[in-house]
């Protein structure tokens, strides 16, 4: 039997045979790369893992209402911020 991973989609968590390509934080609703230095630092300090979610791709992260991380997905974050700032 193959390993199963729990990923987050617009309709909630679902099982996948493929691991997530992006990670996110349920509380801040931010997504980023799995090797993000900010996320890895938070994981090392503890308390972060219980809020961690995983996404198959960026489109699903966005569909779930998460925004890009400013540390590891800088270009996408700058685009998101420019759109948000343009709305005000």
CATH of the domain at 44: 3.40.10
Report pTM: 0.91
**Count of structural domains within the chain:** 1
Q: Per-residue pLDDT tens for 35-64?
A: 999 999 999 999 789 999 999 999 999 999
Note down the domain range covering 45.
5-86
If pLDDT is split at 50, 70 and 90, which confidence band does 25 have? Answer: very high
54 CB neighbour count, 10 Å cutoff: 20
């Amino acid at each position: 039997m193959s390993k199963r991973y729990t990923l987050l989609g617009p309709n909630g968590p679902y099982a996948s045979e493929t691991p997530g390509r992006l990670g996110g934080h349920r509380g801040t609703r931010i997504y980023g790369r799995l090797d993000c230095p900010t996320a890895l630092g938070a994981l090392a300090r503890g308390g972060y893992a219980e809020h961690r979610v995983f996404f198959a791709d960026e489109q699903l992260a966005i569909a779930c209402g998460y925004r890009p991380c400013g540390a590891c997905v800088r270009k996408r974050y700058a685009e998101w911020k420019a759109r948000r700032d343009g709305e005000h």
